[in-house]
A and B are shown apart, each in its own frame.
Chain A
């Protein structure tokens, strides 16, 4: 007889000093809230959605103040804004439909898969936002520069003669670097948050996957 079967024979007789809960205690437990990772995924996702929506609105208000919209051209400005919010709404829909399908009573491997899929949606959401900010930011730079009176004035000065292209490239390069730094910082924050949250899940998921090879 193998080792495990010896344990199996005696398995049901195990006890330890942890107490059995009374019915009253069990009823009390029902009122508690979950501290599980699915709840945290939802909270983080809500924060992400709110942050980028608010960020968009704040920048819109700021642009109205300092005439950026006229300089950039209304069609591009409003076009990109509408596009942006349509994409965000799509993300919210995809997230919600993934989230709704997480059911604790499904088989372990599909539960893990659903959770990771939900997390992937949020990863793409962040990458979309960063890419959007970078692309629109750079296009806006190109559109704004020729129409900005301050820049026109600067380029008209004798010292700048012949260096217009260099100026454009530097402006683009600078904004690119700023966005790159933001991306790296965001990436690190994300690795940290989801790393803490999902490390165990990822490890167990990999273990399950290894079994299927």
Chain B
């Protein structure tokens, strides 16, 4: 493939690599697996890139390829959740007064999301990325109604994980 195409791809990937990192963080439990999944996503993105015609935004296309890789192509199981790992995820909290309490709550929530299954994680991820139900449904290949229903169930499930 041409040098120009490669440069163009690397530029877009570099600008959007945070999306892939967020997915890797959600679907893996240690640094090694994180890098491994990141690499597989990159390979898949690059292989599919010639067919990406720009009728959607690069990032939209990237969500799809990256999630598909994590859910479908990536072989290693992602079931095990070790507690110390997700605690490394940090959030920047603006209100200094409530920092500790809110940080604790966010860590708890993130931990709960990590306990969901692969499909639920994908829905939650897209929701957190501020995608609307139509986009979530299109990415997953389900109907909008089902995406909405499932999302409500996931919210209940998360509440139950946090307050058993």
Q: Contact check, A103 vs B48: say whether CB atoms are below 8 A apart.
A: yes
A105–B44 alpha-carbon span in the complex (Å): 9
Q: How far is the CB of B45 from chain A (nearest CB, A)?
A: 8
When C-beta atoms are compared, the residue in chain A nearest to B9 turns out to be A30
| Given A27-B10, A29-B39: A107 touches B141 (CB 8 Å cut-off) | yes
A115 is contacted by which of B38, B65, B72, B130 (Cβ under 8 Å)? B72
A35 is contacted by which of B75, B89, B120, B139 (Cβ under 8 Å)? B75
Contact of B8 with A by CB under 8 A: no
Q: Contact check, B142 vs A21: say whether CB atoms are below 8 A apart.
A: no
Q: How far is the CB of A94 from chain B (nearest CB, A)?
A: 21
Contact of B73 with A by CB under 8 A: yes
Q: How many B residues are at the interface, by size bracket?
A: 35 or more
A42–B23 alpha-carbon span in the complex (Å): 27
Q: Contact check, A109 vs B142: say whether CB atoms are below 8 A apart.
A: yes
Q: When each residue 125-163 of chain B gets 1 if its CB lies under 8 Å from chain A and 0 otherwise, what string results?
A: 001111000000011111100100110001100110010
Query: Contacts of B72 on A, CB cut-off 8 Å?
Result: 37, 108, 111-112, 115, 201, 204
Q: Contact check, A200 vs B109: say whether CB atoms are below 8 A apart.
A: no
Q: Contact check, A197 vs B150: say whether CB atoms are below 8 A apart.
A: no
| Given A16-B25, A105-B65, A212-B143: A10 touches B47 (CB 8 Å cut-off) | no
A208–B42 alpha-carbon span in the complex (Å): 25
Query: Contacts of B22 on A, CB cut-off 8 Å?
Result: 14
Contact of A4 with B by CB under 8 A: yes
A8–B131 alpha-carbon span in the complex (Å): 11
Main secondary structure of the interface of B (DSSP, over half): helix
A18 is contacted by which of B10, B34, B106, B155 (Cβ under 8 Å)? B34
Main secondary structure of the interface of A (DSSP, over half): helix
A131–B68 alpha-carbon span in the complex (Å): 36
Query: Contacts of A14 on B, CB cut-off 8 Å?
Result: 22, 25, 89-91, 110
B47 is contacted by which of A104, A110, A201 (Cβ under 8 Å)? A104
Q: Contact check, B21 vs A32: say whether CB atoms are below 8 A apart.
A: no
Contact of A165 with B by CB under 8 A: no
Query: Contacts of A15 on B, CB cut-off 8 Å?
Result: 89-92
Query: Contacts of B124 on A, CB cut-off 8 Å?
Result: 4
A80–B120 alpha-carbon span in the complex (Å): 51
A2–B127 alpha-carbon span in the complex (Å): 13
Chain B positions 1-54 with a Cβ under 8 Å from a chain A Cβ: 6, 9-11, 13-14, 17-18, 21-22, 24-25, 31, 34-35, 38-40, 42-44, 46-48, 51-52
A26–B124 alpha-carbon span in the complex (Å): 27
Contact of B82 with A by CB under 8 A: no
A20–B72 alpha-carbon span in the complex (Å): 24
Q: How far is the CB of B79 from chain A (nearest CB, A)?
A: 9
Q: Contact check, B106 vs A107: say whether CB atoms are below 8 A apart.
A: no
Q: When each residue 5-39 of chain A gets 1 if its CB lies under 8 Å from chain B and 0 otherwise, what string results?
A: 01110110111111011010011011011111110
A to B CB contacts below 8 Å, 13 in the list: A7-B106, A11-B129, A17-B88, A20-B17, A23-B10, A32-B42, A34-B44, A105-B65, A204-B117, A208-B119, A211-B119, A211-B149, A211-B150
Question: What 9 pairs across the A-B complex have the smallest Cβ distances?
Answer: A107-B141, A109-B141, A36-B73, A13-B92, A29-B42, A11-B128, A207-B119, A10-B91, A7-B109
User: Residues of A with Cβ closer than 8 Å to B?
Assistant: 2-4, 6-8, 10-11, 13-18, 20-21, 23, 26-27, 29-30, 32-38, 40, 103-112, 115, 197, 199-201, 203-204, 207-208, 211-212
5 new A-B pairs (CB below 8 Å) besides A37-B73, A203-B118?
Answer: A2-B159, A13-B93, A32-B43, A103-B51, A105-B51
